[in-house]
Amino acid sequence: MKPGAIVGLKDYTAGFPTPSMASTVVHLAFAGLLAAALLGPYFDRRAVLVVFAATAFPDLDSFIALFSTVGHREALHTFVVPIVVGVAWFVDTRLREESFVRERWGQWGVAVGWMAVVAYAVAGIGLDFVGAGVNPLWPVHDQAYALNGKIELSDQRGVIQTFVDLSPEEGGAPAPSRRLGNSSEIEMNTGVNPDPSGTKTDPERIFPVVRSGWQLLVLVVGSVVTAVRLRQNRE
């Protein structure tokens, strides 16, 4: 195992609860909820399929992990991808006189494309970013982070926030409380690659569906809302 490796649901940061990774179906349910809320008249079965494909795409890096040190929640769980695609989409649909997308799919294609970019960033990457952590700027910056913390209002201490650690460690260096390591230091087990270290003779393959109450809530609400909106469109 690599030094400092993070495997599965290990409690990677002292003082914070064990992370709860969202499964692909939870990601899809959240994406469906976003599409139902934001797509308006362009919400239909085709749009949902496009949004689902964009949301599930980051999880393909589970297979990349089989032959690369840059693997799950790193290679495709990077905000660089939706940023680059979003810039390209903006140039084509807003700046070019003859838009490739608009000429072929009209305003439906423009709206669904933007929704797919949002779904990739928020539902595909975001849920993992606030869960077990991702490598959000790879390959520009090879360091995994987890967005974890709290914001409170106290009648004695005022505003209390722990998302950004502003207190220096001894010696004056910033405390990396949510920095998890780079791609050469982190290993994450998945159902596709249950034993990244190769130390087990018969590792158990676990494909998560729901691992917490909030995930079950997102799965149920997102699935129901998406189904209701699709039925309303048919009527």
The span from the CA of 133 to the CA of 83, in Å, is: 19
Q: What is the pLDDT of residues 151-205, one digit of tens each?
A: 899 999 999 888 877 665 554 444 444 677 777 667 666 767 666 666 777 788 8
Q: Specify the pLDDT at position 67.
A: 75
Q: Over the stretch 103-112, which tens digit does the pLDDT of each residue have? A: 999 999 999 9
Residue 14 three-state SS: coil
User: 72-81, 132-141, 168-177: lowest mean pLDDT where?
Assistant: 168-177
| pLDDT of amino acid 93 | 96
Select, from the ranges 78-82, 137-141, 160-164, 183-187, the one with the highest average predicted confidence (pLDDT). 78-82
Angle of the 24-38 helix axis to the 45-56 helix axis, nearest 10: 140
What is the residue-averaged pLDDT of the chain? 82
Furthest C-alpha separation in the chain: 66
What is the predicted pLDDT for the residue at 148? Answer: 82
Other Cβ atoms less than 10 A from the Cβ of 205: the count is: 12
What phi and psi values does residue 8 have, to the nearest 5 degrees? 60, -130
The pLDDT of 209-227, averaged and rounded, is 93
Confidence of residue 17 (pLDDT cuts 50, 70, 90): very low
CB contact at 8 A, 75 and 138: yes
- Write the single-letter amino acid at 212: S
Please give the pLDDT value at position 184: 67
Q: Tell me the mean pLDDT in the region 217-222.
A: 96
User: Helix, strand or coil for residue 71?
Assistant: coil
End-to-end Cα separation, the chain, in angstroms: 56
